[in-house]
Amino acid sequence: MNEIRDGHITSPSGFVASATACGLKESGDLDLVLVASKQDCSGAGLFTQNQFPAAPVILDKETLAANPSRLRGIVVNAGIANACTGPAGLKDARATQHHTAQALDCPNESILVLSTGVIGVPLDMQKISSGIQVASQDLSEENGIQAARAIMTTDTRPKHVAFSIPYPEGDVILGGMAKGAGMIHPNMATMLAVLTTDARISAVDLQRILQEAVQESFNQISIDGDTSTNDSVLLLANGASGISIQTEDRLRIFAQALKEVCRMLAQAIVRDGEGASKFVTIEVCDARTNAEARSIAQTIATSPLVKTAFAGGDPNWGRILAAAGRAGVDLDPTRINLWVGSDSGIDLQLVMDGTPLPYDDTQAEAIFCASEFTVRLSLGLGTAETTYWTCDLTHDYVSINADYRT
């Protein structure tokens, strides 16, 4: 498979998009996106586990369950999350779906809805419905990057990618866009991702491979440990390439590309984390189970003390072990080994069999001061492992989140 330069959600055949400023963002920036397919799509979606799912999350689950194989488009608004808005919020989400269906000339249940922004504030349906009207007049294959820009909130740059995946009878294209710079920002909420492909794949297969891909990408990142009310990943497959993917062998190739696209978008979110100055990979290996490895990686990746040490370029391995030690996993301290490594190939062991090793301070600081580095923790208990991506916790994170409304 090959990455398409500046690829995006309308790189796959048969998809069009448009973005407009309907007035939800006070800045007047683009805030409403339509993504549409001329042909029916099969679709899949994964959604937040938060107990307060936003109205569009509730609606999309219902829509995907009822009509997973004849989807036609997605409408996204940024600026208002339509979360914690009660029954009125669900009515607004349905109205948004209805206006989009009318504009695209399809049934309501062919449209998925995404929202991101302020929690607890009702959508301005006047702005939404005129925005949908305007956007529906400008649908084009040229607007993929503009769409990625329109869904941004505290993001500093659009996140989009596409790959071509070779099959004997020709290439299929897989594109994607995402937003999210904290795992949640209830003033400016949420991680959203939209994925499109011109392959023909059944909704059942799509859902299965999307789940696997998300597990190894969007579920392996943390900026601040908070999970939004709106987090959603949607995938549409319209079959416009004429290439059908059904057998396990052919699905495996597509699934691998899907994982790569999800991983690139997930990593782009971490790299653009609110206030982040460093991108850190946490590898936990030799664990008894994947779940235990993941639990430890996640605890390290979300520890404020670890993340402030990263911010300070401080080779403070004690904080890493202390975080691992409170993850709720039984450990044997005498089997612990810890390394840190940089992209430039330096690999420094800091702890061997539970005992600190003397190390070159200059070398350690060179790694921790780099903009990207890896922490590798071996538990010595088994063969399971996981990889997690996180960023540092900086003054800018506090500024963005503390000073937002002042």
Contact flag: residue 404 with a second copy (CB under 8 A): yes
Q: CB of 404: closest distance to a second copy in angstroms?
A: 7
Instruction: Single out the residue of 6, 169, 304, 335 in contact with a second copy (rule: CB under 8 A).
Output: 304
CA atoms within a 13 Å half-sphere pointing along the CA-CB vector of 236:
34
The stretch among 98-106, 143-151, 200-208, 329-337 that binds a second copy (CB under 8 A) is 329-337
Q: Which is nearer to a second copy, 19 or 351 (CB)?
A: 351
- Rounded to whole angstroms, how far apart are CA atoms 259 and 282? 18
Helix, coil or strand: residue 200: strand
Instruction: Single out the residue of 26, 28, 51, 168 in contact with a second copy (rule: CB under 8 A).
Output: 51
Q: CB of 300: closest distance to a second copy in angstroms?
A: 11
Q: Which is nearer to a second copy, 166 or 304 (CB)?
A: 304
The stretch among 134-142, 168-176, 257-265, 350-358 that binds a second copy (CB under 8 A) is 350-358
Spell out where 123-231 has E strands: 159-167, 170-179, 192-197, 221-222
Q: Which residues contact 165 (CB under 8 A, 6 or more apart)?
A: 1, 171, 172, 173, 174, 199, 253, 254, 257
The stretch among 36-44, 90-98, 168-176, 223-231 that binds a second copy (CB under 8 A) is 223-231
Q: Of the candidates 139, 112, 108, 14, which has an alpha carbon nearest to the alpha carbon of residue 58?
A: 112
Q: CB of 234: closest distance to a second copy in angstroms?
A: 21
Contact flag: residue 371 with a second copy (CB under 8 A): no
The stretch among 18-26, 60-68, 95-103, 352-360 that binds a second copy (CB under 8 A) is 352-360
Task: Classify residue 114 as left (phi > 0), alpha (psi -120 to 50) or beta.
Answer: beta
- Cα–Cα distances (Å) from 155 to 233, 270, 389, 398, in that order, read 17, 10, 17, 15
Helix, coil or strand: residue 3: strand
CA atoms within a 13 Å half-sphere pointing along the CA-CB vector of 51:
0
User: How many residues belong to the site for a second copy (CB under 8 A)?
Assistant: 67
Active site includes 190? Answer: yes
Contact flag: residue 367 with a second copy (CB under 8 A): no
Instruction: Single out the residue of 109, 141, 283, 314 in contact with a second copy (rule: CB under 8 A).
Output: 314
Contact flag: residue 124 with a second copy (CB under 8 A): no
Q: CB of 29: closest distance to a second copy in angstroms?
A: 21
Give yes or no for a contact between 362 and 260, defined as CB atoms under 8 angstroms apart: no
Contact flag: residue 291 with a second copy (CB under 8 A): no
The stretch among 151-159, 195-203, 261-269, 397-405 that binds a second copy (CB under 8 A) is 397-405
Contact flag: residue 356 with a second copy (CB under 8 A): yes
Q: Which residues contact 57 (CB under 8 A, 6 or more apart)?
A: 47, 48, 229, 230, 232
Per the residue annotation, which of 10, 96, 100, 190 is the catalytic one?
A: 190
Q: CB of 221: closest distance to a second copy in angstroms?
A: 15
Q: Of the candidates 69, 91, 57, 100, which has an alpha carbon nearest to the alpha carbon of residue 189?
A: 57
Paired tokens of 175: 């594109």
Contact flag: residue 317 with a second copy (CB under 8 A): yes
Contact flag: residue 335 with a second copy (CB under 8 A): no
Binding mask 63-92 for a second copy (x = CB under 8 A): ------------------x-xxxx------
Q: Which residues contact 128 (CB under 8 A, 6 or more apart)?
A: 22, 24, 32, 77, 92, 95, 96, 99
Using CB under 8 A as the binding rule, the residues of this chain from 152 to 191 that contact a second copy are 182, 184-187, 189
- Cα–Cα distances (Å) from 57 to 4, 50, 84, 93, in that order, read 31, 10, 12, 9
Instruction: Single out the residue of 1, 3, 40, 50 in contact with a second copy (rule: CB under 8 A).
Output: 50
Q: Of the candidates 130, 115, 110, 120, which has an alpha carbon nearest to the alpha carbon of residue 22?
A: 130
How far does CA 108 lie from the centroid of its chain? 26
Q: CB of 199: closest distance to a second copy in angstroms?
A: 34
Q: Of the candidates 106, 390, 2, 367, which has an alpha carbon nearest to the alpha carbon of residue 225?
A: 390
Contact flag: residue 351 with a second copy (CB under 8 A): yes
Q: Which residues are catalytic?
A: 190
Residues near a second copy (CB under 8 A) are 49-52, 81, 83-86, 118-121, 182, 184-187, 189, 224-229, 303-305, 308-309, 311-314, 316-319, 321-327, 329-331, 333-334, 351, 354-356, 392-395, 397-399, 401-406
